[in-house]
Amino acid sequence: EFGEDEGDEGDLAIRPPVVTVMGHVDHGKTKLLDALRNANVVDKEAGGITQHIGAYQVTAEVDGDERRITFIDTPGHEAFTAMRARGAQATDIAILVVAADDGVMPQTVEALNHAKAAGVPIVVAVNKIDKPEADPTKVRGQLTEYGLVPEEYGGDSMFVDVSAKSELNLDKLLEAVILTADASLDLRANPHQDAQGLVVEAHLDRGRGPVATVLVQRGTLRVGDSIVAGAGYGRVRAMLDEHGDNITEADPSRPAMVLGLTAVPGAGQTFIVVEDDRMARQIAEKRESRERAAMQAKRRVRRTLEDFMASMEKGASQELNLILKGDVSGSVEALEDALSQIDVGDEVSIRVIDRGVGAITETNVDLAAASDAIIIGFNVRPQGKATEMAEKEGVEIRYYSVIYQAIEEIEAALKGMLKPEFEESTLGQAEIRAIFRSSKIGNIAGCMVTSGVIRRNAKVRVLRDSAVVADNLDLASLKREKDDASEVREGFECGLVLRNFQDIREGDIIEAFEMKEIPRS
Ligand code: GDP
């Protein structure tokens, strides 16, 4: 089964952390990735040109040990989120790049939220410190407000001042990544099993056919292995590393460009090694149809508050993820504050994974899709393709303009999760043939039961020309001939009086129904 390390505890070996670089546009993500790649130039063979294959490994010296780190070579959080939306988590640690001359900007906060939502530790690279106007202290202060407190201030986040341009302190940044990994993650995998992992990037090469950069997560991938990657399969014909050199095997956390697949897989899809080509083909075909069905199902199924209620199993604790967007920061704060006051017991908790001022953006929808969150819009509307995307991804957006209304609805939904659910079932219908007016007991409807049964204690609604004119009513009385009846069946006449509704007419249909409790699965 995918995702399991096989073998004994003793088979597990330390694997390098996999790092994604995120941050605001122009803060130096690309430059930093380039600088780190070049700084490691000593390791590659003379004359070789470093290639962009989607990921690369560097070595760092920490406490006298040579340690490896894998970088996903696509800056920004789009790739990160796209992978998470597929349910894949490639990243162990995020480097948050913040330009010291610009400080924390909207995409800095977005990146931070994406990493937090994924539960990925963050190392902050305070970049561009070569610039005279750089103010690294200010960056520390700003990020502290977002819960990233530097170690030197007593927090547990590592901040490193760097210059991607002058290649300053890059070694310190790598060291911080290793120290963070060692302190908070248990990065081990069994190299002695068939390989499994993720596709980081793939394309169709004119000369070489489908080419996929994969990241091995467990086991060791070897030339000659039969693999399935997304809808593609085949025997690994050759593997190249980030220097364009041929390699024969790749161990956990090692990126490798794989040749020999029949089709181009998607980023974030998994690959596995299987027994032989025939098996590979069978699995690939099954996977493709299953993936297609799953994607369609995901789009059809909206994750609504009600779905969340339904998914809630008794006794299991559940988190409701919310993204708050408001017109002004005051309203967002007030909303978040009010939400934190909601007391729904231990079984349910509300987690605000992102908040912000302004329209609901595609990035908001992206994060919601990846984190199964609901977006709350307070006096704001979606922007650009956000609505379209939300429809496609099945993300629910709720709009409010009054805080207490938002709170009431969310509270009611959360509390509702703990109560039984009811389902309506129709009992029968009767047609009003005559009306007898009585000032004492109300208007009496002389009816013919045309289908099913009308019960004295059932709920009823009144239909006129197929429209509902009154709903969820009780009967004040039900008579068959002159006698009170507990029920009257199809084909019989009856007289009935509705409680709190007297505006009945000849030809109206009285529909009786009952609410049945449906057991939770
Ligand atoms: P990205 O959008 O985050 O990928 O940013 P880039 O890596 O493209 O960098 C944006 C601009 O900032 C480019 O002009 C870089 O040359 C410049 N830049 C990046 N890092 C540094 C740095 O450490 N110092 C200075 N002075 N400029 C930098």
Q: pLDDT digits over 408-421, tens only?
A: 777 776 765 544 45
Average pLDDT over residues 504-509: 94
Q: Is 248 annotated as a binding residue?
A: no
Q: Report d(CA 227, CA 234) in Å as an integer.
A: 6
Residue 353 alpha carbon to ligand 1 centre in Å:
29
Whether 444 and 501 have beta carbons less than 8 Å apart is answered as no
Say what percent of the chain tops pLDDT 70.
84
Instruction: Look at residues 14, 16, 32 and name the one whose alpha carbon lies nearest to residue 68.
Output: 16
Between helix 106-117 and helix 78-85 the angle, nearest 10°, is 30
Average pLDDT over residues 392-398: 83
Q: Which helix (H) or strand (E) holds 365?
A: helix 362-371
Q: At 197, list the tokens.
A: 């992992």
Give, using CA atoms, the residue closest to atom 11 of ligand 1: 26
- CB crowding 87-100: b at 16 or more within 10 Å, else e: ebbbbbbbbbbbbb
Residues 434-443: contacts with CB within 8 Å, 24+ apart? 434/506, 435/504, 435/505, 435/506, 436/495, 441/476, 441/477, 441/497, 442/476, 442/497, 442/498, 442/502, 443/497, 443/498, 443/502, 443/504
Q: At 403, list the tokens.
A: 């805080």
- Asked if this assembly's ipTM is beyond 0.90, the reply is yes
Residue 135 alpha carbon to ligand 1 centre in Å:
16
In ligand 1, which atom is closest to the CA atom of 163?
Answer: 23
Confidence band, pLDDT 50/70/90 cuts, at residue 129: very high
Q: Report d(CA 349, CA 248) in Å as an integer.
A: 49
**CB count, 10 Å around CB of 129?**
22
Per-residue pLDDT, 306: 53
Sign of CA dihedral 340, 344, 349, 354: negative
Q: Is 144 annotated as a binding residue?
A: no
Residue 172 alpha carbon to ligand 1 centre in Å:
19
Q: Which of 20, 21, 25, 31 to mutate to test the pocket of ligand 1 (most atoms within 8 A of CB)?
A: 31
Residue 161 alpha carbon to ligand 1 centre in Å:
14
Whether 90 and 200 have beta carbons less than 8 Å apart is answered as yes
Give, using CA atoms, the residue closest to atom 9 of ligand 1: 28
Residue 39 alpha carbon to ligand 1 centre in Å:
16
pLDDT at residue 47 above 50?
no
Degrees to nearest 5, angle at CA 219 with 34 and 273: 100
Q: Is 392 annotated as a binding residue?
A: no
Q: Report d(CA 499, CA 445) in Å as an integer.
A: 12
For residue 507, give Cα distances in angstroms to 276, 433, 435, 446: 72, 6, 10, 11
Task: Report the relative pairing of strands 122-127 and 158-161 from DSSP bridges.
Answer: parallel
Q: Which residue has the higher pLDDT, 86 or 500?
A: 500
Mean pLDDT, the chain, whole residue set: 84
Confidence band, pLDDT 50/70/90 cuts, at residue 446: very high
pLDDT at residue 295 above 90?
no
Whether 54 and 125 have beta carbons less than 8 Å apart is answered as no
Per-residue pLDDT, 520: 44
pLDDT at residue 50 above 80?
no
Q: Is 330 annotated as a binding residue?
A: no
Average pLDDT over residues 277-282: 82
pLDDT at residue 269 above 90?
no
In ligand 1, which atom is closest to the CA atom of 162?
Answer: 23
Per-residue pLDDT, 418: 46
Give, using CA atoms, the residue closest to atom 6 of ligand 1: 28
Per-residue pLDDT, 314: 36
Q: Which of 21, 25, 26 to mutate to test the pocket of ligand 1 (most atoms within 8 A of CB)?
A: 26
Say what percent of the chain tops pLDDT 90.
44
Residue 31 alpha carbon to ligand 1 centre in Å:
6
pLDDT at residue 434 above 80?
yes
3-state secondary structure of 390: helix
Per-residue pLDDT, 237: 95
Q: Is 273 annotated as a binding residue?
A: no
Per-residue pLDDT, 338: 83
Q: Is 75 annotated as a binding residue?
A: yes
Q: Is 446 annotated as a binding residue?
A: no
Q: Is 40 annotated as a binding residue?
A: no
In ligand 1, which atom is closest to the CA atom of 27?
Answer: 3
pLDDT at residue 78 above 80?
no
- Residues 175-192: tens digit of each pLDDT: 999 999 999 888 999 999
Confidence band, pLDDT 50/70/90 cuts, at residue 153: very high
pLDDT at residue 300 above 50?
no
Residue 165 alpha carbon to ligand 1 centre in Å:
7
Q: At 260, list the tokens.
A: 């020999």
Whether 93 and 157 have beta carbons less than 8 Å apart is answered as no
Residues with CB under 6 A from ligand 1: 23, 25-31, 75, 127-128, 130-131, 163-165
Confidence band, pLDDT 50/70/90 cuts, at residue 467: confident
Per-residue pLDDT, 79: 65
Give, using CA atoms, the residue closest to atom 24 of ligand 1: 128
Residue 410 alpha carbon to ligand 1 centre in Å:
43
Confidence band, pLDDT 50/70/90 cuts, at residue 67: very high
Whether 494 and 454 have beta carbons less than 8 Å apart is answered as yes
Confidence band, pLDDT 50/70/90 cuts, at residue 303: very low
In ligand 1, which atom is closest to the CA atom of 127?
Answer: 23
Residue 214 alpha carbon to ligand 1 centre in Å:
28
Residue 77 alpha carbon to ligand 1 centre in Å:
17
Confidence band, pLDDT 50/70/90 cuts, at residue 316: very low
Give, using CA atoms, the residue closest to atom 17 of ligand 1: 28
Per-residue pLDDT, 135: 96
Q: Report d(CA 88, CA 90) in Å as an integer.
A: 6
Residue 340 alpha carbon to ligand 1 centre in Å:
39
Q: Is 243 annotated as a binding residue?
A: no
Q: Which residue has the higher pLDDT, 275 or 225?
A: 225
Confidence band, pLDDT 50/70/90 cuts, at residue 284: confident
Of 346-355, 408-417, 430-439, 484-493, the least confident: 408-417
Q: Is 77 annotated as a binding residue?
A: yes
Confidence band, pLDDT 50/70/90 cuts, at residue 35: very high
In ligand 1, which atom is closest to the CA atom of 25?
Answer: 2
Residues in the chain: 521
Residue 448 alpha carbon to ligand 1 centre in Å:
81
Query: Is the whole model's pTM more than 0.80, yes or no?
Result: no
Q: Is 76 annotated as a binding residue?
A: yes
Please give the biggest Cα pair distance in the chain.
106
In ligand 1, which atom is closest to the CA atom of 23?
Answer: 3
Give, using CA atoms, the residue closest to atom 20 of ligand 1: 28
Q: Which residue has the higher pLDDT, 223 or 399?
A: 223
Per-residue pLDDT, 226: 93
Give, using CA atoms, the residue closest to atom 10 of ligand 1: 26
Confidence band, pLDDT 50/70/90 cuts, at residue 483: very high
Per-residue pLDDT, 472: 85
